[in-house]
Amino acid sequence: MDCFSFHTEHNHALASPMSTRFIRSHRTKTKVQKDLMDVLDDSGIRPSKIASILSHESGGLGNLNMTEHDIFNYLSRKRQKQLEKGDAQIMLDYFRGCQSKNPGFFYAIQTDIDGCLANCFWADARSRMAYKHFGDVVTFDPTYLTNKYRMPFVPFAGVNHHFQSILFGCALLWDETEETFIWLLKTWLKAMYGCSPNTIITDQDGAITNAIAKVLPNTTHHFCMWHIEKKFPETLSHVYHRNEDFKKEFNSCIHNTLTPDEFENSWTRVIQKYNLQGNSWLEKIYSIREKWVPAFLHNTFCAGMSTTQRSESLNKYFKDYVNASTPVSKFVLKYEEALDDRYNKEREENFKTMNSKPVMKTLYPMEAEASLIYTRKLFRIFQDELIHAQECVASRVDVNDGLKVYKVHGFNKEKPMYMVTFDASQNAAVCNCHKFEFMGILCRHILAIFIKKKVFSLPSQYIIRRWTKDAKKNDNSSIIQNETDDKLSESSTLWFNSVMLHSLGLSEKATRSSKHYDLAIRGIKNLCDELDTLAIDIVNEGKKPASIDDSRMLEDDNVLYSGTTLRDPVHVISKGRPPSLRKKSSVEESSKKSKTCSSCNRKGHTKRTCEKHQPNFESKSISTSQIVDVTQD
């Protein structure tokens, strides 16, 4: 009896098969499981999801010989080991590695006086090549936070000939001051060989606006309409939700007015009807109406963009892969994956455009012509306008100096009414909707007049090259657009860069099929043999040939040499639930009631978020004079 009592007091009950995974000695990880966890972690899958996948792969939770906490610890130790060298230093080494493999890779870094990372920008050769073809309209949005340092991520984005979002480089910034944006824009402009875009679209931020005015004085600057319209329900809540007709009339004032005069009259009517005189926020956005109201923007080519949606869509892509604890060294790798994904989608659309025929839906010859000229996506947009042109009614209302003016509207719809001016001598027309000027595709109203006047062939002046199949084809002009022939004749480095970037275009075409590849390789071999036999001019005989190292040009003596260590920026610690990855823009913040800090008595923040209470506060405050530039191309 005593023996039995001793046995029951000092021995545990046997664990069930479902519980053995909680015993420390039973918790092991096989190589296969480790490899799978590494792959899933590199793909941006969170530990809880990884546990679910491993459970499913093992045939059930009971067969999984580890816990979710074990998975978290394994991944945490792995990341700590990877960052032993330093997060910023790993990123810098990665940039140097990219440049050694491809001299077209460009990066620039600013550090503070302590050698900590402050701002960085990078763009690979593909992005710089894409800018050559599609850099007429650019958007960028700095309201996205992607890493444990709370550094805003700024992607420069545009749209290609398939109407897809493309990247023109990106940056991680220390702050959002005017000085930082000036550095960013100058650096980006240098990476794009000094070629300014025709139009740039950003959110309404004073620092960005001033920086663009100084660095890009000849570029048309538009504000993102979405950021402004988003505040209507909140800022005008006292009238927005009480009057059912206000929302309809206000939106019609903004979107359905075709000319500035129409907008002005409509705006005044709405303001007076709903007693909104003296509303400071409305007065503010009205004062900048030329930068965001469609009636003022339709005459400017924007490739169909009126918002920073292209940048926002790229931000959403990264949201699945990064969070508030993501190190910047890992983020730059995700950027590379995003870039690869974008170009794979472009190659897919190229294949569809070149190897399939669209379905014709009308009998007009211009539809068949357009199918041979435009990419598939742009053809569908044109086709849709042509189909709807058949639903329009056109009648002549005036003749002025040989130009005939028509009013165009839908069947049984007197409004909206559009005015089209037609020049029969040149088969040219202008519509007051200005779709062609804004997007580069003819509107249904002009097409209705063409049909009426029996203009069945698409006039060449209405074919914009950037939307065609040949947008990136047979362009032998120098990619280095800012350099004269004299400078090119004197610089082996510029020769090297120019040939290298042209070679990138060749590589893209050479990988379309095995036939393309074989032809390219034969041509390259023949060209190399011919270059080997070519005599060197006496003038250039003593000139050192360009090498990869020679193509890395630094502007000043503040250089991060190979033996120098780049220190990590300050880790911003936040309490509670991780903050949203998206920051509020200035327009979104402007309508909020200003808060006063009980510690420093300054407005705009609380004691919990006061900079004085952040760790290493002194080292976070840097000025322009404390910044060191490192630019490599």
Among 567, 633, 566, CA closest to 191: 633
The whole-angstrom separation of Cα 81 and Cα 247 is: 56
Q: 74 vs 186, which has greater pLDDT? A: 186
The whole-angstrom separation of Cα 626 and Cα 180 is: 12
For 378-399, how does the pLDDT look when each residue is reduced to its tens digit (9 = 90+)?
Answer: 999 999 999 999 999 999 988 8
The whole-angstrom separation of Cα 268 and Cα 7 is: 92
Determine the pLDDT at residue 479. Answer: 43
- Return left, alpha or beta for 412; rule: phi > 0 is left, psi -120 to 50 is alpha, else beta: left
69 within 8 A of 52, measured Cβ to Cβ? no
Instruction: Choose from 179-193, 230-244, 527-541 the range with maximum mean pLDDT.
Output: 179-193
Considering only 56-60, 232-236, 257-261, 535-539, which range has the smallest mean pLDDT?
A: 535-539
Helix axes 328-355, 309-319, angle to 10 degrees: 120
Determine the pLDDT at residue 81. Answer: 52
Residue 536 carries which side chain, given as an amino acid letter?
Answer: I
- Cβ-based burial of 534 (10 A; exposed 0-12, middle 13-18, buried ≥19): exposed
200 within 8 A of 219, measured Cβ to Cβ? yes
In eight-state DSSP terms, residue 374 is B
Q: Is the pLDDT of residue 198 over 90?
A: yes
The whole-angstrom separation of Cα 573 and Cα 13 is: 44
- Residue 451, both tokens: 């049909």
The whole-angstrom separation of Cα 110 and Cα 88 is: 12
CA 244, chain centre distance (Å)? 37
Q: 6 vs 425, which has greater pLDDT? A: 425
pLDDT band at 61; cut points 50, 70, 90: low
Determine the pLDDT at residue 483. Answer: 42
Mean pLDDT of 175-181: 89
Instruction: Choose from 16-25, 148-157, 167-176, 353-362 the range with maximum mean pLDDT.
Output: 353-362
70 within 8 A of 26, measured Cβ to Cβ? no
Percent of the residues in the chain that have a pLDDT greater than 70, as a whole number: 64
Q: CA quadruple 72, 73, 78, 84: dihedral positive or negative?
A: positive
Determine the pLDDT at residue 191. Answer: 92
Q: 284 vs 615, which has greater pLDDT? A: 284
Q: CA quadruple 325, 331, 333, 339: dihedral positive or negative?
A: positive
- Residue 175, both tokens: 């702050």
Among 342, 372, 33, CA closest to 160: 342
The whole-angstrom separation of Cα 197 and Cα 470 is: 21
In eight-state DSSP terms, residue 270 is H
Residue 226: strand, helix, or coil:
helix
In eight-state DSSP terms, residue 14 is P
Element (H, E) at 303: none
Residue 472 carries which side chain, given as an amino acid letter?
Answer: K
Residue 280 carries which side chain, given as an amino acid letter?
Answer: S
Mean pLDDT of 128-153: 79
Mean pLDDT of 448-464: 93
Domain boundaries, the chain: 16-82, 229-297, 376-467
Model pTM?
A: 0.72
Strand blocks (E) in 46-151 = 106-111, 117-123, 137-140, 144-145
Q: How many other β-carbons are positioned within 10 Å of the β-carbon of residue 425?
A: 7
In eight-state DSSP terms, residue 205 is -
For 218-250, how does the pLDDT look when each residue is reduced to its tens digit (9 = 90+)?
Answer: 999 999 888 888 888 888 888 887 888 898 999
Determine the pLDDT at residue 65. Answer: 64
For 499-530, how does the pLDDT look when each residue is reduced to its tens digit (9 = 90+)?
Answer: 766 777 777 777 778 888 888 888 888 888 88
Mean pLDDT of the chain: 76
Q: 356 vs 511, which has greater pLDDT? A: 356
349 within 8 A of 164, measured Cβ to Cβ? yes
In eight-state DSSP terms, residue 612 is G
Among 138, 148, 194, CA closest to 170: 138
Quick one: CA torsion of 403, 405, 411, 413, rounded to 10 degrees?
A: 160
Q: For 259-389, where are the alpha helices, taking DSSP H only? A: 260-273, 280-287, 294-297, 309-319, 328-355, 365-373, 376-389
In eight-state DSSP terms, residue 468 is B
For 276-329, how does the pLDDT look when each residue is reduced to its tens digit (9 = 90+)?
Answer: 998 889 999 999 999 999 999 988 999 988 876 665 566 565 665 555 566 777
Contacts of 201 (CB under 8 A, 6+ apart): 137, 138, 139, 221, 222, 223, 224, 302, 305, 306, 307, 308
The whole-angstrom separation of Cα 491 and Cα 543 is: 9
